[in-house]
Amino acid sequence: MNNLSQIEALLFVAGDEGMTLATICSITHFDKPAVLSLIEALANRYADDVSSALEVRETDGAYRLVTKPALGAVVKGYFEAPANATLSQAQLESLVMIAYKQPITRVEIDQIRGVQSAGTIQKLMLRQLVVEVGRKDEPGRPILYGTSAEFLDYFGLKALSDLPPLPDFESLDVVDHGGELFTSAFDARQTEMEENNNV
């Protein structure tokens, strides 16, 4: 494994939240000039490779891998395809956690679900169900996520106060109580929506 692949791997697993220069240095034990040089080399490799769908982007001090703008229509088409109209279980779990505990960071979602959620959150953002609502005031300034107006429309809600109640909500900070308790509150509503769509 070479140094460039280490940077690429870190940016990949960081997902849409990205990774700061300081964090990359801390994990790899490379100095800042070396990391900046590697990031530049990776960015150039993607830019020079017309067959690559990715590029490196720096926003608000964090580096992330994103798809090239030219592929926007293709990516949008994926999320608009009939086969992808229904939320997956992973997407539903993450979306419900964001809805009930917003604003919430990806790491907090990961801790509750017990699995990595970066890709799932990115898909929810592409579907415009989830939006960035700020940054948490802690080291690394992680992104805070919340639901959008499209989220309310998707579930037929007028306001977040219309969300169905969750039992023993405070216990949800424990991983063992994960997605089952969260999604059980939405099961009835989603079933109702599907039935209404089939009428």
Could you give the angle at the alpha carbon of 196 between the alpha carbons of 194 and 199, nearest 5°?
110
User: In this predicted structure, what is the pLDDT of residue 197?
Assistant: 56
Question: Which domains does the chain carry?
Answer: 3-69 (1.10.10.10), 86-198 (1.10.10.10)
Of the ranges 13-22, 30-39, 166-175, 184-193, the best mean pLDDT one? 30-39
Tokens (6 digits) for 143: 């992104």
Helical axes 32-48 vs 21-28, angle rounded to 10°: 110
Got the DSSP string for 132-187?
EEEE-SSTT-PEEEEE-HHHHHHTT-SSGGGSPP-TTGGGGGSGGGHHHHHHHHHH
Tens digits of residue pLDDT in 90-117: 888 899 889 989 999 998 998 888 888 8
The proportion of the chain whose per-residue pLDDT surpasses 90, expressed as a percent, equals 36
pLDDT tens string 168-179: 544 444 333 334
- State the amino acid at position 29 in one-letter form: H
What average pLDDT does the structure give for the chain? 81
Hey, what are 16's tokens?
A: 């849409």
